[in-house]
Structure 1
Amino acid sequence: MPADAFKDHKAEARLVNTRVWIAVVLMLLLVCGLISRLFYLQVIRHSEMSVQSDENRVHLRPIPPTRGLIYDANGKLLAMNRSSRILSIVSERVEDTGTLLDTIGSLIPLSDSEIESYQRRTSSVRPFEPVPLKFDLTDEEMALISVNQFRLPGVELNAELVRYYPEGKIYAHSVGYVGRINDREIQTIDSARYSGTHSIGKIGLEKYYEDILMGEPGYKEVETNAQGRVVRVLKEVPPTPGKDLQLYLNTYLQKVALEAIGDRRGAAIAMDPKTGGVMVMVSNPSFDPNLFVTGIDYKTYNDLNTSMERPLYNRASLGEYPPASTVKPIMGLALLSEGLVKASDRVYDNGYFQIPGSSYRFRNWKREGHGWVNLRDAIILSNDVYFYNQASKLGIDGLHDFVSQFGYGRETGIDIGEERPGLLPSRAWKREHYDQPWYPGETVNAIIGQGYMLTTPVQMVESTAIIANRGKHVIPTLVKSEKNLDKPSDKDVNLGSPKNWELIIDAMEHVVSSPRGTAHWSIGRNIKYTMAAKTGTAQVVSIPQGEKYDAEKLKMYHRDHSLFIAFAPVDDPQIAISVVLENSKGAANVARKIADAYLLPKLEEAK
């Protein structure tokens, strides 16, 4: 019998047909499922899926604005922007950041501070925003990264603008500098506005005028491939650049002042008493602000921060010093205006003064005394005993209230963002800080600018300008603006009688012009214009009774400070100056060189 005689062909056919139908049904179900899924994704969730697709393919990249430039009075660039080649990383394109950093570090040098700064910055940026790792790449470093970029997913090489200060340390304290945005600043800034921006003003004008200099960011929509490389730009909105600033500061005068100070510690400020425009603002020693722009290394910063010379410290607005005898013209105005003395009243100076009932002697700087002196003589000779005798008449309350009109004990409002108010003591101040009463001997010290009283160089120049203006107050300002001209002030000083101004100013003029004046032999000879001035010597440590001051016996940081205020010409003041030299002599010479540099060319032009 044939082999297939016992097979049921009809049953096998039915089985095959059943399997075919099952397969067809399954295929139909799968096709229906696929079609329904496609319908769900492409129709029902079309908008959502379209957005997700674009997010994977299209990204917003911020375009940082160009920071505004800063110019001196003559149009010389003090703060500019230069191109810097930067290595950045898009974190979302990186699977293992540690491995990537190790790979980059094997190609080019990476410091610990650069890595730490990058890691801090990654937590505060928007998705797919490049985070800078290293600035100022060399040609060789650029080439190494470019050749190995296939091994470096998420790494981008870009050219960006970074700040540069062509005058270096000359303007470090006034113009200031920008630096990388730190963790504390990240918590306070507008993250959208600073998206794509890595620096912010840290001190000086750069910080004070940050909103003006910063500008507004733009953005661009870019299409990227799977590796994160930009394929094309779909849309671009350009940024709004920051505004430029022009200053009253004069680079030539700045250099003259710094050269005159030399290697001594101190500060010098010169301003136009008519406008308040600050033409000179130097603090010495200084530092190179370019070190901070893209991040300063720890060792360099630590050396600057711990130096005994304190180069990071702006002595012009933060330095607080006893005003010493530079405050005597104001004390003289107080005595005259309050009717406590007359111009003709005289005091006999035998070299010291004693409070009735006390054995302590407040000595004159000239140990043998000046004999009979009136107020005019007391300013010309810088006589202490005359003022000692008037201290009880004025009293600490009268002294405080009058001197405060000249800017002592408060911030001047100069547009630099960092300023100390000094200290103008009073009964209430001492009670609050020491829980003690005020003693008569403390008024004796205060009337000659010693004791608790402290002032800053910028306060000194402000008060000098008030005297030069015969009472009109102007706010010291660094940036030129029409708003600064003829700015109304509620701080003008009204003495009632103009004669009081003229008596004090005449005495200050003779400080320089008279052979008896304390500044005559140092700067008064052969001067080609009239100058009103006052010298000052501030004690740093007390000298015991009966001993004579000897600088050679004292350590450098215990020697007296030299102070000087001046304005010129007397009848038409065009410049007011204050100078402080720490533990050194010669403040008057510094002021004379600044005044010469500013006024002598004007005198030549007028011929």
Structure 2
Amino acid sequence: MLKTRPTIRDHSAEANLFARRAFVGFVFVVILIGILFHNIYTLQIKEHQTYKTRSNENRIKVLPVAPNRGLIYDRNGVLLAENRPVYNLEVVPEQVEDLDAALAEVSQLIELTESQITEFKKEIRNKRRFKSQVLKGRLNEQEVAIMSVNQHKFPGFSIEARLSRYYPYGDTLTHALGYVSKLNKKELEELEAEGRATNYRATYDIGKLGIEKFYEQHLHGIVGSRRVEVNNRGRIIRTLSMETPTPGRDLVLTLDIGLQQIAQHALGDNRGAVVALDPKDGGILALYSNPSYDPNLFVHGISSKDYKALLNPDLPLINRTTQGRYAPASTVKPHLAILALEEEIVEEDTIIYDPGFFEIPGVDHRWRDWQAWGHAKGKVDVYTAIELSCDTYFYTTAYKLGITKISDFMSQFGFGELSGIDIYEETSAIMPTTQWKRERFKESWWPGDTISVGIGQGYWTATPVQIANALNILVNKGKNYQPHLVQVSKQGEIIERLYTEEKPPIELNNPYHWDIALTAMHNAVLEGTASTPFKGADYDPAGKTGTAQVVSIAQGEKYDAKKLKEKHRDNGIYVGFAPFSDPRIVVAVVVENQGGGSTVAAPIARQLMDYYFSAYPLPKEPES
């Protein structure tokens, strides 16, 4: 068997290989050390400030601080909308590991309804999970104590004290003040589109209706901030600095809460509206719509049961003063009389025969006067026509004027247009024209349509605010003072209004025609249709009653309220002012389906004026 010769090792080659490998390993180590030192240099020196800032961001939080909402006062300084402290149980969802389990445990300690849990989960789906969300509001003392003792068991849950809106007069002012309620997704999107979302970082509520919504930017204020230091669990250790929020501006309204309460009391259970104005500047003294509702129900989120209760046939959610559309009826006869005088259809002493009805030549239809046998033994002039509310007189003049002249003239008094009142909930109602009817009904305007418009009925509708403002323009002989609710801010600043355009005054060819209409309205209270309700008044009133038919009565039939459903009965309207020589208050009252203006609406106006002149008595005449 042959033996193999042993392999001779090349120590020199091995040494060279080892040296090469050692060199490569050394270079690799040097490179790694270089990279390490480079990173250390970058972290500790070059990017030191950046990482220090990022570290502080983890340790220091900037929390928004909500501003206090501005308060609202009446003209005499009575507080109408205030902020009261409430305790809420709030949750930051991202800090809770098992939200469902935590909610179940909390519900064992305090009462949580299914609707509250459902609403909470719905809200957090629409918001960032790091933002605190109210689980249960308005905790009582016992609930606050229980949760405070057990709070350490529930990371992410906290008891927060916040100021919440409260309306001490409840349903008396709802349609004027409106209310605040929770911000919803649509409103947040609108705020973001307007670039105002950052100012609502700590805000849960926003104005929804009335003054609260119209003056939201004034009432809300400017958000502040608080820099705090937190531990690794996110718990606040201390406050480092504070930027105080700017509270919202307090508003002073033109409203008189006493007059508002009288309006509510006087309307009682009747559906209707009351508007009272200061004729000197258009400031609204009373603005009441009945039925009303308690706005405090909406502040913390209204229950389904309470909301359904408001969806009844009486429509309490509708602001009748600005959204109710009623035929103005005979309250516009003084305005139409001025137009007839201006157009020389009649003169001051013109007599129109009144047999108790009016007929268009060649038309077999009678437009009946409310008094079947006519007025003043058939001989009616402009004064008697207004004083006794003679329909035949205004049927005749309207027929001669035509709808175009009537519409153009009455539009100057604000009919068919927004009044400019500083709340958003308003309708323009209808001042009919030939074009309007053609677009609405695809029909021509007929002369018979004008006859009904001549007594403020037919297609013509108006809101109580429009009716009051039209009278105010008449009282001021053409000058148009924009109706408004806000007088100044509590700090004395004039508040900007949405509608700033001043409307030009109405110029008459003969200014004496103003005096004819106003004098006739004075006569209507002294010895005409409004005389009974104002007997014995300590002031000198003037006014005009109106009765608006809700349904048509066929030829040959008589109106009988007892045979009609309540919703088909007449509306009663009254407009008036006092004192006659130097007006200090203008009032418009509408009462739905309760009869004539002289029997139901004028007595309400009397109560308002009695209160007003007792609270603000007329100056005594100097003794001779």
Same-fold call, TM cutoff 0.5: yes
Distance 2:46 2:117 in 1: 46
Bigger shift: residues 35-44 or 380-389: 35-44
Q: 2:148 aligns with which of 146, 149, 155?
A: 146
**Cα RMSD after superposing both structures:** 2.4
Which string of whole-angstrom CA distances, capped at 9 and with x for unpartnered residues, describes residues 216-272 of structure 1? 000111112233221111121110000000011011111111111111111101111
Q: Is the 8 A contact 1:267 1:283 kept in 2?
A: yes
Confirm or deny that 1:519 pairs with 2:533: no
Q: Is the 8 A contact 1:57 1:225 kept in 2?
A: yes
Q: 1:97 aligns with which of 99, 102, 116?
A: 99
Residue 417 of structure 1 deviates from its aligned partner by: 1.7
Judged with a 3 Å threshold, the aligned counterparts in structure 2 of structure 1 residues 107 and 38 are, in CA distance, closer, same or farther, namely: farther
Aligned to 1:376: 383
Confirm or deny that 1:264 pairs with 2:275: no
Residue 139 of structure 1 deviates from its aligned partner by: 1.4
Which string of whole-angstrom CA distances, capped at 9 and with x for unpartnered residues, describes residues 319-354 of structure 1? 110001111111101100111111211122112111
Judged with a 3 Å threshold, the aligned counterparts in structure 2 of structure 1 residues 87 and 206 are, in CA distance, closer, same or farther, namely: same
Judged with a 3 Å threshold, the aligned counterparts in structure 2 of structure 1 residues 275 and 234 are, in CA distance, closer, same or farther, namely: same
State the one-letter code of the partner of 1:518. Answer: T
Judged with a 3 Å threshold, the aligned counterparts in structure 2 of structure 1 residues 269 and 498 are, in CA distance, closer, same or farther, namely: same
Aligned to 1:130: 132
Q: 1:318 aligns with which of 312, 317, 323?
A: 323
Residue 140 of structure 1 deviates from its aligned partner by: 1.5
Residue 142 of structure 1 deviates from its aligned partner by: 1.3
Distance 1:143 1:36 in 2: 56
Q: Is the 8 A contact 1:405 1:491 kept in 2?
A: no
Aligned to 2:571: 561
Bigger shift: residues 419-428 or 496-505: 496-505
Residue 524 of structure 1 deviates from its aligned partner by: 2.8
Which string of whole-angstrom CA distances, capped at 9 and with x for unpartnered residues, describes residues 170-208 of structure 1? 111101110001121111112211001000000000000
Q: Is the 8 A contact 1:178 1:292 kept in 2?
A: yes
Distance 1:210 1:446 in 2: 40
Aligned to 2:362: 357
State the one-letter code of the partner of 1:351. Answer: G
Residue 32 of structure 1 deviates from its aligned partner by: 8.8
Judged with a 3 Å threshold, the aligned counterparts in structure 2 of structure 1 residues 400 and 496 are, in CA distance, closer, same or farther, namely: same
Q: 2:420 aligns with which of 413, 421, 441?
A: 413
Q: Is the 8 A contact 1:130 1:156 kept in 2?
A: no
Residue 110 of structure 1 deviates from its aligned partner by: 2.6
Give the 5 Å matches for 1:38-49. 41-49=43-51
State the one-letter code of the partner of 1:597. Answer: Y
Aligned to 1:465: 472
SS at match of 1:501: helix
Distance 2:561 2:289 in 1: 24
Q: Is the 8 A contact 2:61 2:229 kept in 1?
A: yes
| Unaligned stretches of 5+ residues in structure 2 | 1-21
Distance 1:574 1:278 in 2: 12
Q: Is the 8 A contact 2:468 2:586 kept in 1?
A: yes
Aligned to 1:9: none
Which string of whole-angstrom CA distances, capped at 9 and with x for unpartnered residues, describes residues 13-58 of structure 1? xxxxxxxx9xxx9999999987776555444543443344333322
Aligned to 2:553: 543
State the one-letter code of the partner of 2:314. Answer: E
SS at match of 2:279: coil
Aligned to 1:16: none
SS at match of 1:242: coil
Residue 298 of structure 1 deviates from its aligned partner by: 1.2
Give the 5 Å matches for 1:58-97. 58-97=60-99
Judged with a 3 Å threshold, the aligned counterparts in structure 2 of structure 1 residues 603 and 400 are, in CA distance, closer, same or farther, namely: same
State the one-letter code of the partner of 2:79. Answer: L
Residue 389 of structure 1 deviates from its aligned partner by: 1.3
Residue 102 of structure 1 deviates from its aligned partner by: 2.5
Judged with a 3 Å threshold, the aligned counterparts in structure 2 of structure 1 residues 221 and 123 are, in CA distance, closer, same or farther, namely: farther
Q: Is the 8 A contact 1:154 1:227 kept in 2?
A: no
Q: 1:597 aligns with which of 611, 619, 624?
A: 611
Give the 5 Å matches for 1:161-560. 161-189=163-191, 190-304=196-310, 306-370=311-375, 371-481=378-488, 489-514=502-527, 517-521=528-532, 523-560=533-570
SS at match of 2:546: strand
Distance 1:28 1:584 in 2: 102
Residue 518 of structure 1 deviates from its aligned partner by: 0.8
SS at match of 1:386: helix
Judged with a 3 Å threshold, the aligned counterparts in structure 2 of structure 1 residues 373 and 483 are, in CA distance, closer, same or farther, namely: farther
State the one-letter code of the partner of 2:346. Answer: V
Aligned to 2:18: none
Judged with a 3 Å threshold, the aligned counterparts in structure 2 of structure 1 residues 483 and 399 are, in CA distance, closer, same or farther, namely: farther
Distance 2:590 2:36 in 1: 85
SS at match of 2:106: helix
State the one-letter code of the partner of 1:195. Answer: R
Count of residues in correspondence between the two structures: 580
Distance 2:534 2:76 in 1: 30
Aligned to 1:10: none
Judged with a 3 Å threshold, the aligned counterparts in structure 2 of structure 1 residues 484 and 493 are, in CA distance, closer, same or farther, namely: farther
Residue 144 of structure 1 deviates from its aligned partner by: 2.0
State the one-letter code of the partner of 1:494. Answer: E
Which string of whole-angstrom CA distances, capped at 9 and with x for unpartnered residues, describes residues 511-552 of structure 1? 1101xx11112x131122221211101111111111111111
Judged with a 3 Å threshold, the aligned counterparts in structure 2 of structure 1 residues 182 and 117 are, in CA distance, closer, same or farther, namely: farther
| Unaligned stretches of 5+ residues in structure 1 | 1-20
Which string of whole-angstrom CA distances, capped at 9 and with x for unpartnered residues, describes residues 114-140 of structure 1? 334434544565674322222111112
Which string of whole-angstrom CA distances, capped at 9 and with x for unpartnered residues, describes residues 261-300 of structure 1? 1111111011111111111111111111111111111111
Judged with a 3 Å threshold, the aligned counterparts in structure 2 of structure 1 residues 251 and 231 are, in CA distance, closer, same or farther, namely: same
State the one-letter code of the partner of 1:213. Answer: L
Bigger shift: residues 489-498 or 232-241: 489-498
TM-score by length of 1: 0.91
Judged with a 3 Å threshold, the aligned counterparts in structure 2 of structure 1 residues 177 and 446 are, in CA distance, closer, same or farther, namely: same
State the one-letter code of the partner of 2:505. Answer: D
State the one-letter code of the partner of 1:557. Answer: K
Which string of whole-angstrom CA distances, capped at 9 and with x for unpartnered residues, describes residues 457-486 of structure 1? 00011011111111111011111138699x
SS at match of 2:543: strand
% identical equivalent positions: 44
Distance 2:278 2:31 in 1: 91
Judged with a 3 Å threshold, the aligned counterparts in structure 2 of structure 1 residues 95 and 264 are, in CA distance, closer, same or farther, namely: same
Distance 2:232 2:225 in 1: 22
Distance 1:281 1:368 in 2: 39
Judged with a 3 Å threshold, the aligned counterparts in structure 2 of structure 1 residues 544 and 497 are, in CA distance, closer, same or farther, namely: same
Distance 1:312 1:434 in 2: 29
Judged with a 3 Å threshold, the aligned counterparts in structure 2 of structure 1 residues 292 and 506 are, in CA distance, closer, same or farther, namely: same
State the one-letter code of the partner of 2:329. Answer: A
Aligned to 2:116: 114
State the one-letter code of the partner of 2:185. Answer: D
State the one-letter code of the partner of 2:610. Answer: D
Aligned to 1:578: 588
Distance 2:169 2:40 in 1: 66
Residue 449 of structure 1 deviates from its aligned partner by: 0.7
Q: Is the 8 A contact 2:126 2:185 kept in 1?
A: no
Distance 1:38 1:97 in 2: 42
Q: Is the 8 A contact 1:422 1:455 kept in 2?
A: yes
Which string of whole-angstrom CA distances, capped at 9 and with x for unpartnered residues, describes residues 376-425 of structure 1? 11111111111111222110000001111111000110111211111000
State the one-letter code of the partner of 2:609. Answer: A
Residue 490 of structure 1 deviates from its aligned partner by: 3.0
Q: Is the 8 A contact 1:468 1:570 kept in 2?
A: no
